[in-house]
Amino acid sequence: MNKKISIFLLLITTLSHGMEKMYDENCDEKTAQKNINEYATTHQKSHDVAAIALMQTNDHYKQIYEKIDHLFDIADDPNQQFTEEDLSDSWYVNATCGKETLLSCTYQVNLSCIQLQKIKTLIDAGVDVRNSINNSLLNRICHHRKEKIGSIKSISLMYKNLPGLNDKSLNLLKDLSAPTVQLEEFQLKQLLTIANLLLEHGADPNFQLSDEHNSPLIEAVAYSIDKEYAHLLVWYNADPCKIVVSPICCGYTYERKCSAFDLETTGWLKKVVDEKQQTIFKCWLFKQHDFGELTLLQDIMSFIRYKIWEVGKNSFKAVQSEKII
């Protein structure tokens, strides 16, 4: 029995040693990065954890870990900016630390001081906006925009719900709260800009972490409608007919299949979708023709007239050609 245990332990030791040699053999930085990817995928770990696990096999893993740590320190600090050298290797740009990427960490650090320039720098450096962590920022942005919209509405309601205020006192109160409102409105625009950058660089507007999570458009129309954000998502091809199993609506989670159209009952969303379809149709219809600023019905009539004229012109050319022959 003891002999069998000894053989088993020897086998485990040999396999472990072989694994260590596999990660160690001819290991330059690129090979080390590839090994970290494999280890992270196999063990479902982040890149920094994988680098720590492999650190004992080769100094390259320690150097990689230290650079990942350095980059996330910059992402954490609003007073620091990435240099061109920091982001010269796309592998580091897309490295993970815990459940965050450089992009998600930069976004999340301090929403009272949004690091828009740093986010632009990361996107320009080749961040993969379609991976699950970065793509889920579309939902986070929607959530944070709703918080800020709610804050602005609360301040507005406060003016109405304070009885006994004369005009002078009311104006003073508005002056005191004006900087807060202006900051919230400015950050609303910044959040929309970030969402636009993500979508512009290929983020999926229909992304869901799982079937139990909302899509960005569902998030935008559920509970309180963020029309501006929903409009942006629709124009980047968010599907209003996409069925979600467990959306959050009016603060409650309930089990039923529904789409964004089911949740937005005022007809506003349908109007946005129709407007987009008409605009695309008009652009497609008149790509080669300039008919000026006309309504869709007038455009269609003008297009029909043009086609009749074009068919007539071609028919005339055909007839003339037959006469010559």
| pLDDT at residue 257 greater than cutoff 90 | no
The dihedral through the CA atoms of 304, 310, 311, 316 has a sign that is positive
Rounded distance, CA 304 to CA 287, Å? Answer: 15
- Could you give the CA distance from residue 71 to residue 287 in angstroms, rounded to a whole number? 46
- Cα 100 from Cα 112, distance rounded (Å): 19
Which tokens sit at 273? 């979708």
Reported as a single tens digit per residue, the pLDDT across 24-38 is 555 789 999 999 999
Q: Give the model's confidence band at 8: pLDDT under 50 very low, under 70 low, under 90 confident, else very high.
A: very low
DSSP assignment string, 250-312: TTEE----B-HHHH--SSHHHHHHHHHHHHHHHHHHTTT----S--HHHHHHHHHHHHHHHHH
Q: Where does the pLDDT of residue 217 fall: very low under 50, low under 70, confident under 90, or very high at 90 and above? A: very high
Query: Can you give the pLDDT at residue 109?
Result: 58
Does the pLDDT value for residue 285 go beyond 90?
Answer: no
pLDDT for residue 126 is more than 90: yes
The answer, yes or no, to whether residue 151 has pLDDT greater than 60, is: yes
pLDDT recorded at residue 312: 55
Is the pLDDT higher at 189 or at 250?
189
pLDDT score at 14: 38
d(CA 280, CA 234): 12
Around Cβ 275, how many Cβ atoms within 10 Å? 13
Cβ contacts of 80 within 8 Å, gap of 6 or more: 73, 74
Q: Is pLDDT at 218 greater than 80 in this prediction? A: yes
Is the pLDDT confidence value at 178 over 60? yes
Three-class DSSP category at 249: strand
Cα separations in angstroms, 132 against 11, 135, 167:
38, 5, 52
pLDDT at 289 over 60: no
